[in-house]
Amino acid sequence: MVSELSLPEFEAGLSASLTCKRNFACFATFAGEIIGALRGSRLRVQLLEDFSTIGKDSVLSGELQVLVLATMQELPPREQNEVARWLRALRKVHPGLVCIATIGAHENGGPGMTNFLRRQFWFATRGPKRACGALRLPKRAAFTVHPAVHRYVLDVLVHIRMHRLLDHSQAGGASSSSAEDVLDLCRWLCSANHPEKTFVTPDDVQQACAWYFPMHLDVIRLPQQEASVLYGTSMKFAEDLLIGLRTFLKKTGTVDNPLLLETLIVQEVLGKVVPAI
C-alpha cells in the first residue's frame, strides 16, 4: 500500500499519461533511469538532452509515443520558459505524444522549474523501481461529476490559494486550469480503480489532489513572502518559521519524497475541507 505521503508510482503516472495523452514529471537521478525502465514497454521512446535543438524540425524521429526530457533544472528561467513554449506548440502538432520530464530534488525545495514550465506537466511521480512491461491501459469512459463533487474540488483550490505557507502572489500554485486537471485525473482513477462505477467520488478527488498538487504548489522561500508580514508580523518571526520548516525537513528526510512539505500541505488542506456528501 502506497503511503499518503509518497509520490505516485512511475508506472501509474505512465499509464495515466498514456491514457489521457498528458505529460508528467519523474524524480530520477538521470534520464537514463527512465529510458532503461521503458525498454520492455514496447513503446517508441526517444531521449532529448540538447534543448538548443528544440526549434528544429528534425528533433523528433519517427512516430514517437514517449519523449523523455533530460533534467532542465540547471537551465536559466528564460530557457526553461522557451522549452515550455515549445512543449505547448508540440502538443498541437503531436497530440498523442507523452513527454516525461526528468527532475531531481532541488536545493531550494520543489522541482526547480519555472511556473510556466511546471504547468506543462500533469503531476510528478517517483522514479522507476523496476522495468516496465507491456502496459494494459484502462479504457477512457464517461464518468459523471456531480455538481457537489465539482464544488468540493473548487473548495480545495480556494483553501490551497489561502494557505499560509504558500505564495499568495502566485495563487499558491493553484492555477485556473487546476480544477480541470484534477477532474481529468479523477476520471482516470475511476477507470483504473472502479470501472464498474459511472461517477466520480470524493475519495477519487482526494487521491487526485494528493497526486496533482505537490508539484504545482508555490511554497514561500523568503520571509517577505509570508502573508502576515503585510499586516504587521515581525520579519524575524517569519524568518524563524522558515528556518523551523527547513530544520524539520532535514530531520525527517525527503529521500522518498522530495516534495514532502508540499505533500503535507495538501494533506492538511484535505483534512480541513469537508468532502461532498
Domain that holds residue 186: 147-272
Tens-place pLDDT, residues 5-52: 889 999 999 999 999 999 999 999 889 899 999 988 888 899 988 888
Pair 77, 193 in one domain: no
Pair 87, 161 in one domain: no
Other beta carbons within 10 Å of 111: 24
Strand order through the sheet with 66-69: 45-48, 66-69, 98-103, 24-27, 124-125
The pLDDT score that the predictor gives to residue 271 is 94
Pair 95, 186 in one domain: no
Pair 79, 42 in one domain: yes
- Asked if residue 132 belongs to a domain, the reply is no
- Asked if residue 131 belongs to a domain, the reply is no
- Asked if residue 142 belongs to a domain, the reply is no
Question: What are φ and ψ of residue 201, in 5° steps?
Answer: -105, 160
Q: How many domains does the chain have?
A: 2
Q: Which three cell numbers stand for residue 158?
A: 480556494
CB 18 within 8 Å of CB 137 = yes
94, 125, 156: which is the final residue of a domain?
A: 125
- Could you please report the per-residue DSSP string of 110-173? S----HHHHTTS--EEPPPSS------PPPP---B--HHHHHHHHHHHHHHHT-TTB-GGGGGG
Pair 37, 97 in one domain: yes
Q: CATH number for the domain including 99?
A: 3.40.50.300
Pair 51, 111 in one domain: yes
- Asked if residue 139 belongs to a domain, the reply is no
For CA atoms 254, 258, 261, 264, give the dihedral sign.
negative
Band (pLDDT 50/70/90 cuts) for residue 1 is: very low
Average pLDDT, the chain: 86
Tens-place pLDDT, residues 116-150: 999 999 999 999 988 887 777 777 667 888 999 99
- Asked if residue 136 belongs to a domain, the reply is no
- Asked if residue 152 belongs to a domain, the reply is yes
pTM attached to this predicted model: 0.88
In this predicted structure, the answer to whether residue 221 has a pLDDT above a threshold of 60 is yes
Tens-place pLDDT, residues 141-180: 678 889 999 999 999 999 999 998 888 888 888 888 999 9
Pair 103, 200 in one domain: no
| Sequence letter at residue 139 | K
Tens-place pLDDT, residues 105-114: 766 666 778 9
Pair 87, 172 in one domain: no
Pair 92, 205 in one domain: no
Per mean pLDDT, which range of 96-100, 211-215, 222-226, 254-258 is the poorest?
A: 254-258
How far apart, in whole angstroms, are the C-alpha atoms of residue 52 and residue 76? 13
Band (pLDDT 50/70/90 cuts) for residue 234 is: confident
Pair 26, 107 in one domain: yes
Tens-place pLDDT, residues 70-97: 988 888 999 999 999 999 999 988 888 9
Tens-place pLDDT, residues 175-216: 889 999 999 999 999 988 888 888 899 999 999 999 999 999
- Asked if residue 277 belongs to a domain, the reply is no
Pair 158, 96 in one domain: no
